[in-house]
Amino acid sequence: MRFVPNITSDVIANIQQSDQNVANALQQVSTGQRVSLPSDDPAASAAVLQLQAESANIDQYTANADSALAQAQTADSVVSSVVSLLNQAVTLGTEGANGTESATDRQAIATSVKGLLSNVVGLANTTYQGVAIFGGTTNGQAAFTVSATSSTGYQYNGNTTINSVQIGESLSVQTSIPGSTLFDNPGSSVLGALSGLASALASGTSTDIGNATAAVTSALSYVSEQHVVYGSAINQINAQETYLSQDKVTLSSEATSLVGIDTATAAEDLTSAEENNSAVLAASSKVLQNTLLNYLATPS
């Protein structure tokens, strides 16, 4: 009796390969990807890893931009409110300087201006996520607090560092202006102008009130100029977020082209693999059957 084992092992190997082809095709249909393991296509896998790293960077820049946008919008709203309050102060100062108001009236106007000053300080102490947005880079305290030794009645507790956030590989955007620059600039101090106007209304002449009103007008012009910084930052952030979103889509498309597979093509490949598998099984069945018959018919 003689038995040829190579035929059987070859048949089994063909069946296993055919089954694997079906399994691979089925996986591609279910996942939509032709590369499941790095070994399937090392070059494509390496390229995908690079794209994933770039995508992670985009996610971080986008998160930074979202935070920066919220902070800039908050600051922009604050400065808009300060501009409105300064306009009110100019109106009150003009009223008090016209020479027709009584001393009692001027005292009442002075009280109103002091209220505006208090409101401005409250706005200057606005926080975002628990941090004073006009305090520079200091944390844990209000940007401005009452001070008996300050000519304005308030002292600045922050620093002059300008906050900025990276929203791109080589792009940073300014998110705040230090309170000392915005509200207590030596040349056009908002707090100083309002404090001076309140004092002039309380005890000064019409000329004093007029000069103090002019100082408030100067501070108003200065703050309006600084206001542009936030509008520019908001526009820049919005534009960058649009770019980042488009770049994210591009990277995803590139990754799909590297490891993905067309659904129709995958379905065709699966059908072909299944048909080939059926043919292999049918042929193998005949080979194995003939091999067994030959084995049984071989005289011992």
Q: What DSSP letter does each residue of 252-288 carry, written as one string?
A: HHHHHHHHB--HHHHHHHHHHHHHHHHHHHHHHHHHH
Q: Are the C-beta atoms of 135 and 179 separated by less than 8 Å?
A: yes
Q: Which single residue is written with the structure tokens 């308030």?
A: 154
d(CA 121, CA 126): 9
Max mean pLDDT among 4-13, 45-54, 191-200 falls in 191-200
CA atoms within 13 A on the CB side of 71: 25
Asked if residue 204 has pLDDT above 60, the reply is yes
CB count in 10 Å sphere of residue 232: 13
Give the pLDDT confidence score for residue 101 in this predicted structure. Answer: 87
Q: Which single residue is written with the structure tokens 């200057």?
A: 124
DSSP designation for 163: P
Cβ proximity of 207 and 215 under 8 Å: no
> Confidence band (pLDDT; 50, 70, 90) for 33?
low
Which pairs from 294-299 meet CB under 8 Å and 24+ separation?
Answer: 295/1, 295/3, 298/1, 298/2, 298/3, 299/1
Angle, in degrees to the nearest 10, between helices 190-203 and 103-124: 160
* Closest listed residue to residue 202, CA positions, set 119, 100, 89, 104: 104
Q: What percent of the chain has pLDDT over 90?
A: 58
Q: Within the chain, where are the H helices?
A: 5-31, 42-96, 103-124, 179-182, 190-203, 206-259, 263-297
CA distance 241 to 235: 10
Tokens, residue 185: 């600039």
Percentage of residues in the chain having pLDDT higher than 70: 73
Residue 175 has pLDDT above 60, yes or no: yes
**pLDDT at residue 191, as a whole number:** 97
Question: Is residue 22 predicted with pLDDT exceeding 60?
Answer: no
pLDDT at 280: 58
Give pLDDT tens digits for 66-112. 999 999 999 999 999 999 999 999 999 999 999 888 999 999 999 99
What local confidence, expressed as pLDDT, does residue 294 receive?
Answer: 53
Res. 296: pLDDT tops 50 = no
Q: Structure tokens of 95?
A: 């009223």
pTM (two decimals): 0.73
At 132, give phi and psi (nearest 5°). Answer: -65, 120
